[in-house]
Structure 1
Amino acid sequence: MTQAQKGICAEPNLHALFLTFNVIDDDAPTMRKKIAQVLALFSHYDEEYYEAMVSGIVAIGTDYWYELYPRSIPQELSPFPRMSCDDRNAPASPGDLFIQIKADRMDICHAIGTEVIQLLQPNVDLYEEVKGFRYLDGRDLTGFVDGTENPKGMHKFNVALVGDQDPDFAGGSYIHIQRYRHSMEKWKQLSVSAQEETFGRTKTNNVEFKGVDKAPFSHTKRTSLKDEQGNSIEMLRQSMPYGDMTIQGLYFVSCAKSPLPFAKMLKSMIFGDENGVYDKLLDFTSAETGGAFFAPSINFIKQQANE
């Protein structure tokens, strides 16, 4: 039976370490083996420190995939859908490998990250590392609960994982990442009611506004999309806040059985509706990175490592 990577549909954790690498040589057989060894590291720490609820994701950048696994390509593999309209941008940034490490102990995230980097050297350069953390009761640093629209229960597996539509890659997931930087001082100048109008739900008790009460520019309006049959266009988010006393933001991670939901959401946010009404939250936060990856099943990674 195909086994998905644990981190794709894992429950929220207290801490995260997001690592993006660029591969600097063309030794694909070695990298295939090393990627399988990263999975073994996750399993080791999960067993050794079971109370920390360790989980991880290893995902391969869409450009690098053709070098790493040239004989087997996911059906919908595609580059990051970079977009720009006025001062709203979704840039693409370098990234051949994306590794997400989550646990309820920051020291465990650090220990795993250290071993991952030791394992992957000298084949890679670390492009970026970001430490994520749970903020209060699962809120973004804007003060609003994050991930409210995430699918629940077994449904999240149907949303996040490739199924019978691409049987060779069943259990895999299309991963998109963006590091958003918030303009916190600008955000704090808004009244609570204006902040709530921007999000489309209440701040304190996280009650979503009724559809007729939502402004067309609200974040929930622009990101809660439906297809032509009226079905919700869904993805599973694994996002977490990051920052220090100077810089704050959200590290966005989405997992889906297709790259299309992310691209449609991004287009709705940046370009807006037929009247050009965009997501007003983008007046207060901006994406500084962007990457598209595919996280294959554990079975696929191990099989390719042995060939």
Structure 2
Amino acid sequence: MSASQPVDTGLTGSATFLVFSVTRTDSSIQAIRRVLSSIPDITKNISIRDVNANLTCVVGIGSGAWDSLMKLPYPAELHPFPEVRGAKKTAVSTPGDLLFHIRSERRDLCFELERQLIDKLGDTVRLEDQTVGFRYFDARDLLGFVDGTANPVSPSDISDAVMISESDDGSDATAVGGSYVVVQKYLHDLKAWKALSTEQQEAVIGRTKSDNIELEDADDGQQQAHKTLATIEDASGKEHAVLRDNMPFGSPSAGQYGTYFIAYTRHLWVVEKMMERMFLGHPPGLHDRILDFSTPITGSTFFAPSLSNLKALGDEE
């Protein structure tokens, strides 16, 4: 299998999420291709200052920029993030041609990588969103619950959940070693959330707050907890995991509290099915109650190509 980008870095102390739209001129496209191909080298040059800080950067490319930047066949499932409009809640779709997911144990290294990227990209791109995340206590979100409990853990399980393989139906060979990426930026109404009792919060999430123990599912036809709605099975009953690297972000002085949701997956339909269950409800009409307290303000889909395909963008044509 083709070497992948470092999507399985794992939760770090700090992260920066950058989403850009591309300025579509011949010169800007060539400039962006050169920058993208140099990401591994830029990262290496910065990380040498502290090799234990685990600095990594994953590049994702949106469907709108795929043809001009990659000049490779589309990955089988790649398309723009589809708006999911339920009776009361909506998963919005927002612009995004490029995603940079920067991670490190040190905030200054994330900062430096972002700075160098901005300098090199210049006016070839337009910033759509920039979010700085941080690890909160024992990997909790700002709602107070442990996040990412359902993530695959072993290298083989992560690869099975995240990486396109040669056995995937409909996938071109150039997609092997790549991964679909979905991002959403959620803002929390902490005042309303804190008005709930701990038991009420646990019923919404589906886990205990203090020790992260999974609660039993509700009966079919009844309101389901977030952890149940976010668990996806196919027609044969096989459960499909995704790799989340969500991070809290916010500013108490500005009254802003949120979670940056990011999921890597081998099958894009898994995350999209999760969105349908959360926003439309399962059963229909009973949306995920976490959405009464958490509102998405962005939603974009990307594909993280293999490392070899990323590096090849700098080759002379």
Q: State the Cα distance separating 1:216 from its structure 2 match.
A: 3.1
Letter in structure 2 aligned against 1:163: S
Aligned partners of 1:92, 1:275: CA distance in 2, in Å?
21
Q: State the Cα distance separating 1:217 from its structure 2 match.
A: 2.7
Q: State the Cα distance separating 1:222 from its structure 2 match.
A: 0.8
Q: State the Cα distance separating 1:157 from its structure 2 match.
A: 1.4
One of 157, 160, 164 as aligned partner of 1:158 = 160
1:290 equivalent to 2:299? Answer: yes
Which whole-Å deviations, capped at 9, do the CAs of 1:117-143 have from their partners, x for residues lacking one? 101112112222110000010000000
Which whole-Å deviations, capped at 9, do the CAs of 1:56-86 have from their partners, x for residues lacking one? 1111111111222244221221110211113
**Structure 2 residue aligned with 1:201:** 207
TM-score, reference length from structure 1: 0.95
In structure 2, stretches of 5+ residues that fail to align are: none
TM-aligned CA distance change 1:46 to 1:131, over 3 Å: same
One of 174, 187, 194 as aligned partner of 1:181 = 187
Aligned partners of 1:101, 1:260: CA distance in 2, in Å?
25
1:23 equivalent to 2:25? Answer: no
Which whole-Å deviations, capped at 9, do the CAs of 1:29-64 have from their partners, x for residues lacking one? 322111111232122223332111111111111111
1:230 equivalent to 2:229? Answer: no
Letter in structure 2 aligned against 1:210: E
One of 226, 229, 232 as aligned partner of 1:219 = 226
Letter in structure 1 aligned against 2:55: V
Aligned partners of 1:71, 1:136: CA distance in 2, in Å?
42
Letter in structure 1 aligned against 2:182: H
Letter in structure 1 aligned against 2:3: Q
Question: Which segments of structure 1 move beyond 4 Å, counting only runs of 4 or more?
Answer: 212-215
Whether contact under 8 Å (1:15, 1:105) holds in the other structure is: yes
Aligned partners of 2:217, 2:203: CA distance in 1, in Å?
12
**Structure 2 residue aligned with 1:45:** 46
Whether contact under 8 Å (1:222, 1:278) holds in the other structure is: no
Letter in structure 2 aligned against 1:29: Q
Q: State the Cα distance separating 1:279 from its structure 2 match.
A: 0.7
Letter in structure 2 aligned against 1:221: T
Whether contact under 8 Å (1:196, 1:203) holds in the other structure is: yes
1:252 equivalent to 2:261? Answer: yes
TM-score, reference length from structure 2: 0.92
Whether contact under 8 Å (2:39, 2:57) holds in the other structure is: no
Aligned partners of 1:255, 1:295: CA distance in 2, in Å?
9
Which whole-Å deviations, capped at 9, do the CAs of 1:90-110 have from their partners, x for residues lacking one? 111111111011100101111
**Structure 2 residue aligned with 1:86:** 87
Residues paired across the two proteins, number: 306
Aligned partners of 1:10, 1:92: CA distance in 2, in Å?
27
Which whole-Å deviations, capped at 9, do the CAs of 1:10-31 have from their partners, x for residues lacking one? 1210000111111123232322
1:302 equivalent to 2:314? Answer: no
**Structure 1 residue aligned with 2:4:** 4
In structure 1, stretches of 5+ residues that fail to align are: none
Q: CA RMSD in A?
A: 1.6
